[in-house]
């Protein structure tokens, strides 16, 4: 419709011009002494129009000629960028195909375009890393870091690749730079867990685990296992420092103190430092809420001269709720033997052996018999303890 309108308009203009020119008696006179030029008005208008058209064409041609080098440069730049895009796509394809040498080569070719230098360098770094060419990898990472828009991506790649190569110091340094650059998302923290675990930075590891636990970034079972790992190592580091051990235990949140694995590690640490009373109180608090035979077993090793009676009484209360628990019966027998309650001790230990034969119960019973000059019975129970420990039938 628009084309039809313009066609009709041009036809109308042409008809109008033709009519005006046909009935136009005017002329134009040019005086250039001593010459005089007479032209009809129609001829002058036609000549002026032709001159305008010629000048317009000359100007456009001149401008096009002057702009030709710029257009050539722009075309070449566009061609380089297109080749770089194709090269980067080829590099990524080769990287995921496992053709790492080709991936690095194609990524290097893509660096001809300034727009793709950073991304191409990251691809080349990963390819070089997979070929264990760590010096080249570091050069590519350094090149990618020059692109401010890719700084976080470059640092994250450095953390990942250095961690994979077990270059812990390099990875931790990159993590610190990433933190300063504002990279506080979950993935760097996951890498930090692994790195701090390798480096033995238990306090930092514990802080990270608590943060990740709040964000549900790791499976609860993984968090629990790693927390136990970090806390148990810190407890070992505090051996022979009674005050430090107690202070560290008090800094733990209540929900961590009530976890059986952590409580077990704490009991072992306090027992190693001759703080059996403190260890027994930990067991008592946890066992009131979560029954764990490992804590019950270790409860029998918690020696506190001032709490022996309390320990026996508390264990007997537990026995009401757990009458057939072989570990509890064995622990009660050992606690009674420590108080020289030989009859009760033997009764509990024998019951424990009947329910579930354990070498530890047989050994405790052998010691009890030996203490009371019952050598034959002691020898029999020692033999039973050895057989149970070796997993062979007792004769």
The distance of Cα 135 from the centroid of its chain, to the nearest Å, equals 24
pLDDT along the chain (395 residues), means of 10: 73 65 66 73 75 87 80 72 85 92 91 86 94 93 89 90 90 87 79 89 92 88 92 92 92 93 94 90 92 93 71 91 93 91 91 92 91 90 88 65
Residue where one domain finishes, among candidates 119, 143, 167: 143
Q: Is residue 114 part of a domain?
A: yes
Residue where one domain finishes, among candidates 111, 143, 175: 143
Residue where one domain finishes, among candidates 88, 120, 143: 143
- Total-model pTM: 0.72
Q: Is residue 165 part of a domain?
A: no
- Nearest-5° Cα angle at 182, 179 to 187: 65
Q: What domain range includes position 98?
A: 39-143
**pLDDT recorded at residue 67:** 80
**pLDDT recorded at residue 17:** 61
What is the spatial distance between Cα 359 and Cα 294, in angstroms, rounded to a whole number? 15
**pLDDT recorded at residue 109:** 87
Antiparallel, parallel or unpaired: β 35-40 and 27-32: antiparallel
User: The CATH number of the domain where 365 resides is what?
Assistant: 1.25.40
Q: Is residue 132 part of a domain?
A: yes
CA proximity to 88, closest of 134, 124, 128: 124
Q: Is residue 77 part of a domain?
A: yes
DSSP class of residue 307? T
Q: Is residue 259 part of a domain?
A: no
**pLDDT recorded at residue 41:** 67
DSSP class of residue 82? H
**pLDDT recorded at residue 12:** 73
Q: Is residue 94 part of a domain?
A: yes
**pLDDT recorded at residue 28:** 67
Token reading at 310:
């309390």
Q: Which residue carries 């001759």 as its tokens?
A: 274
Q: Is residue 373 part of a domain?
A: yes
Q: Is residue 236 part of a domain?
A: no
Terminal Cα distance for the chain, rounded: 112
Counting the structural domains of the chain, the total is: 2
CB 238 within 8 A of CB 253: no
């Amino acid at each position: 419709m628009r084309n039809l309108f313009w066609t009709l308009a041009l036809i109308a203009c042409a008809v109008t011009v033709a009519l005006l020119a046909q009935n136009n008696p005017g002329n134009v006179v040019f005086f250039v002494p001593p010459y005089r030029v007479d032209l009809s008005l129609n001829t002058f208008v036609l000549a002026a129009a032709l001159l305008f058209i010629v000048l317009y064409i000359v100007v456009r041609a001149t401008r096009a000629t002057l702009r030709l080098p710029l257009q050539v440069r722009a075309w070449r730049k566009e061609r380089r960028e297109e080749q770089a895009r194709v090269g980067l796509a080829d590099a990524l394809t080769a990287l995921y195909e496992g053709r790492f040498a080709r991936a690095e080569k194609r990524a290097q070719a893509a660096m001809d375009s300034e727009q793709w230098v950073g991304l191409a360098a990251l691809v080349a770094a990963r390819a070089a890393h997979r070929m264990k060419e760590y010096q080249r990898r570091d050069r590519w990472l350094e090149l990618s870091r020059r692109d401010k828009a890719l700084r976080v991506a470059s640092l994250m790649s450095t953390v990942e690749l250095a961690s994979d190569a077990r270059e812990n110091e390099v990875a931790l340094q990159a993590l610190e730079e990433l933190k300063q650059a504002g990279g506080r998302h979950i993935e760097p923290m996951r890498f930090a867990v692994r790195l701090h675990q390798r480096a033995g930075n238990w306090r930092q590891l514990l802080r990270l685990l608590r943060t990740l636990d709040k964000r549900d970034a790791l499976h609860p079972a993984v968090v629990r296992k790693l927390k136990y790992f970090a806390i148990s190592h810190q407890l070992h580091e505090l051996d022979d420092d009674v005050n430090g051990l107690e202070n560290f235990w008090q800094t733990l949140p209540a929900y961590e103190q009530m976890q059986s694995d952590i409580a077990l590690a704490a009991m072992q640490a306090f027992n190693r430092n001759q703080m059996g009373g403190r260890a027994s109180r930990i067991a008592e608090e946890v066992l009131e809420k979560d029954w764990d035979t490992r804590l019950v077993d270790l409860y029998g090793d918690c020696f506190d001269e001032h709490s022996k009676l309390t320990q026996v009484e508390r264990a007997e209360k537990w026995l009401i709720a757990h009458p057939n628990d072989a570990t509890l019966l064995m622990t009660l027998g050992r606690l009674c033997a420590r108080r020289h309650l030989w009859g009760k001790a033997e009764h509990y230990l024998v019951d424990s052996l009947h329910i579930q034969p354990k070498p530890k119960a047989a050994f405790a019973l052998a010691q009890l018999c030996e203490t009371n000059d019952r050598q034959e019975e002691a020898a029999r129970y020692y033999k039973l303890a050895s057989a149970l420990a070796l997993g062979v039938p007792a004769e």
